[in-house]
Amino acid sequence: MRWRPARAPVRGRTGRIRIVGAVVLLVLIVLTWRQALWTERLQAAWFDAHQTLAPRQVRSLPVTVVEIDQKSLAALGQWPWPRNLLAQLVDTVNRAQPAAIGVNILMPEADALSAERLLARAGTLDPALSYALASLPSNDTELASALARAPSVLVVAGTPEPTGMALRATPVTVRNASAAASLPPLLANHAGVLSSLDEIDRAASGRGLISADPSRGVIRRIPLVVSVDGTLMPTLAVEMLRVAMHVPIVRMATSGTMVTSVAVGDVVTPTEADGAVRLYFSPRRADRLVSAVDVLQGRADPALLEHRLVLIGLAGIGLLEYQDTPIGERMSGTEIHAQLLENLIDRTLLKRPRRAPQVEALLLLVLGAVLIWATPRWQPLDATLLMLACAVLPVLLAFLLFRTERLLFDAVTPGLGLLLLFLTLIVLTLTEATRTRRSLERVVADQREQGARIAGELEAAHRIQTATLPRADLLQADGRVDLAATLVPAREVGGDLYDYFMLDERRLFFLIGDVAGKGLSASIFMAVSKALCKSAMLRMPGAEIGEIMSTANAEVSRDNPEMLFVTLFAGILDLDSGELRYCNAGNENPYLWHAAGTLPDRITDGDGPPLCAVAGFDYRGGRRQLSPGDWLCLMTDGVTEAQNPAGELYGHPRVQARLGAGRDATHGAHAVVEALHRDVLAFAGSAEAADDLTILALHWHGPDARA
């Protein structure tokens, strides 16, 4: 019953926390869905971590990179080489019957080392020498002839401004599922190109773009098809595949404004919306690379070139800028294109599903809802463990999909969002807990203050109730009688009562009673009943005891809205003659035993119902003649109905035995009362008192004992 009133405020505070949490979660979902700048950086780091932990395992080596490396430069001279030497390299590679040769070197100007160029710079020479040099073919012509004899592909670089250079691009057909007339707007676009010398460019079998914008310095994505001022052009890897497969065109499929795939022959590669793909890098491999000088001097294994896709590129120190990769290794552009070719052929490209942001937002919604539900309810440690589980689950699931399907799902952004949400919830929860604790402290303080006030009032009531009892020394001067009484309330105040006083020099009036119930209300009714009974006795000094009890019944019943009742035993003892007149209104029958008797007898006559139980009842009293030395003991049911921890009642047999053991005249009334009281307490033990306890003992010594 004490907990229920507090549940509504707690539920209200929990509801406020959840509303704030829902708002924070909604903001995080929008940021996750819309792929904000900070989420893109987190995603890039997360996806790079995938490749660092589990780089691509090479299935085959379809590509060989012929490097113009430091070894080649040391043996054949510094770069740039005469293009006739480059032509020899192309011819040497071509004799091994490669599938295609890609020359990853831009040559926009004529060879400065060609014979005619040297002749022009030399000025006047011997006529015979001049004629001989002039009759030699130019280096550019030799390279063009070598390229024409081979399945060669030259490179083209995109520029942000028009260059005026001729663009020779392989036809790219577009199949749009939505029948859109324009090119996909997300395609990478260049205003112009930087290509090789026209004589060299015309000789090649194909041309491929090599421009790729790194994402914050790291190459992660490369477009397969780009737009050069509205003209579609394939990238180097796609063009090398086309030349190797001897197909005339490249096919591109789109849907609405998005590119869906790029196909060369039977190799169909799904792309992202802008026509780019995500590379899955493998560590650098020495068996993928061969030095140009080894090829020229016949030391290279022909198997490294035969039926392979061969890329010729620069790798010497200071000749190019190496690019950063997700696996932490810096690679040349030629090797990066080789990795792309391997990805295309082995179909090992990474895939970022187009619905991935929605899936991640949905995951954030579900797990965030779980946190919003649990965090205000659970203990902080349990809620923290739940948050860790919610954060770890997407990580494990995303990494599993990467390892098995090469799918890229962002687990960091939802995880960070869950962390921010949890921190918000835990701060709000702790704030509310602090506020609740302070509120409870105020309530406890108020209750303590109220309890102290009530305790003070009860203590005052106890003092007042005790003060209304007759003084213990009231009859000490009269040797005819020895009387003692005790009242022990079950609570601070009780509903039992007793009283005694002299009506005149001969007659002693005494009474004992028990109000129905206990506590403060019973004590108030007890005080009223006692006062009214005493008033009736004093107003009617010569009346019979039964008549007095009837009058008291009428007066106590007059103002009793709570319908309480009181049991009462009243008696008048003539101290000179020993005549005892009494009336019992529903109280425990008192015990009477003679000095020469064995066990006490009970007085069972002169009884009637409790006061306020039957209106207008005509009470009839009883009469006994006491002998000197006789004992009388009155008590309330708090004595006989006292219980021990086992639930057993003290009962009348124990009362009789206890009173019989203490009937020696040498023991005073006070000793009899105390002995019975101690025996009751010993019997009850640790059991809580169920009712008030009152005992009154009277020993009549006879008229001759008058002091």
SS3 for 60? coil
What is the pLDDT at residue 108?
Answer: 92
**How many Cα atoms are found within 13 Å in the side-chain-facing hemisphere of 11?**
6
**Could you give the angle at which helices 4-34 and 412-468 cross, rounded to 10 degrees?**
170
Count of helices and strands (H, E) across the chain: 19, 29
- C-alpha of 83 from chain center: 69
Residue 136 has pLDDT above 90, yes or no: no
Q: Are 393 and 366 in contact (CB under 8 A)?
A: no
* Residue 519 pLDDT exceeds 90: no
Ramachandran bin of 179, using left for φ above 0, alpha for ψ from -120 to 50, beta for the remaining angles: left
pLDDT on residue 561? 74
Largest CA distance in the chain: 181
Give the strands of the sheet with 631-635, arranged side by side. 481-488, 693-700, 631-635, 591-593, 601-602
Decide: 208 and 102 in contact? Cβ < 8 Å. yes
Please check whether residue 195 is in contact with residue 156, taking contact to mean a CB–CB distance below 8 angstroms: yes
User: pLDDT tens for residues 51-88?
Assistant: 999 999 998 899 999 999 999 999 999 998 999 999 99
Instruction: Give the highest mean pLDDT range of 139-153, 433-447, 513-527, 535-549.
Output: 139-153
**Helix locations, 469-519, DSSP H:** none
Evaluate if residue 661 carries a pLDDT over 80.
no
pLDDT at 316: 74
Strands 258-264 and 250-255: antiparallel
Length reported for the chain = 707
Model confidence at 7, pLDDT cuts 50, 70, 90, reads very low
Segment 451-455 shows an average pLDDT of 74
Identity of the highest mean pLDDT range in 280-289, 455-464, 492-501, 552-561: 280-289
CB 206 within 8 A of CB 264: no
Q: Are 564 and 495 within 8 A, CB to CB? A: no
Do 219 and 212 meet the contact criterion of CB atoms below 8 Å apart? yes
pLDDT of res. 238: 96
Residue 351 DSSP code: B
Identify the pLDDT of residue 457: 65
Whose CA is closest to 106, among 221, 208, 37?
Answer: 208
Buried b (16+ CB within 10 A) or exposed e, 490-512: bebbbbbbbbbeeeeeebbbbbb
* Structure-derived torsion over alpha carbons of residues 557, 559, 562, 567, reported in degrees to the nearest 10: -30
CA distance readout (Å), 250 to 63, 237, 240, 243, 342: 20, 12, 11, 11, 18
Residue 120 has pLDDT above 80, yes or no: no
pLDDT in tens, 275-302: 999 999 999 988 899 999 999 999 999 9
Q: Which of 669, 610, 643 is nearest to 490 (CA)?
A: 643
Per-residue pLDDT at 253: 93
- Model pLDDT, residue 5: 39
Identify the weakest region by mean pLDDT among 58-72, 106-120, 338-352: 106-120
pLDDT of residue 19: 87
Mean pLDDT of 503-508: 89
Contact 661, 536 (CB under 8 A): no
According to CATH, the superfamily of the domain at 475-705 is PPM-type phosphatase domain (3.60.40.10)
Give φ, ψ of 272 to 5 degrees.
-80, 180
Angle subtended at Cα 290 by Cα 284 and Cα 291, rounded to the nearest 5 degrees: 120
pLDDT in tens, 596-648: 666 788 999 988 999 888 888 999 999 999 989 899 999 998 899 899 999 89
Range in 112-121, 243-252, 326-335, 488-497 with the lowest mean pLDDT? 112-121
pLDDT of residue 666: 58
| pLDDT above 70 for 2 | no
Q: What is the mean pLDDT of residues 328-357?
A: 93
Mean pLDDT of 533-560: 85
Residue 95 pLDDT exceeds 70: yes
Of the candidate ranges 209-223, 303-317, 528-542, the one whose mean pLDDT is the lowest? 528-542
Above 90 in pLDDT, residue 325?
A: yes
Provide the residue ranges of all domains of the chain, joining segments of one domain with +. 4-53+353-439, 63-112+143-346, 475-705
**Cα–Cα distance, 439 to 437 (Å, whole number):** 5
DSSP symbol at 198: H
pLDDT digit string (tens) for 228-263?
A: 998 999 999 999 999 999 999 999 999 888 999 999
- Predicted TM-score (pTM) above 0.75: no
pLDDT at 133 over 70: no
Confidence of residue 205 (pLDDT cuts 50, 70, 90): very high
Query: Is the sign of the CA dihedral 147, 149, 150, 153 positive or negative?
Result: positive
Q: Is the pLDDT of residue 1 over 50?
A: no
Predicted local distance difference test score (pLDDT) of residue 9:
47
Distance between start and end Cα atoms, the chain = 62
Note the pLDDT tens digit of each residue in 569-606: 999 999 999 999 999 999 999 999 887 666 788 999 98
One DSSP character per residue, 635-658 reads E-HHHHT-B-TT--B-HHHHHHHH
**pLDDT above 90 for 6:** no
Mean pLDDT of 671-683: 91
The amino acid sitting at 686 is S
Query: CA nearest 34: which of 413, 422, 424?
Result: 413
CB 195 within 8 A of CB 207: yes
pLDDT for the residue numbered 8: 42
Average pLDDT, the chain: 86
Closest alpha carbon to 252 in 262, 260, 242, 264: 262
d(CA 29, CA 18): 16
- Strand 250-255 vs strand 172-176: parallel, antiparallel, or unpaired? parallel
Q: Does pLDDT of 707 surpass 70?
A: no
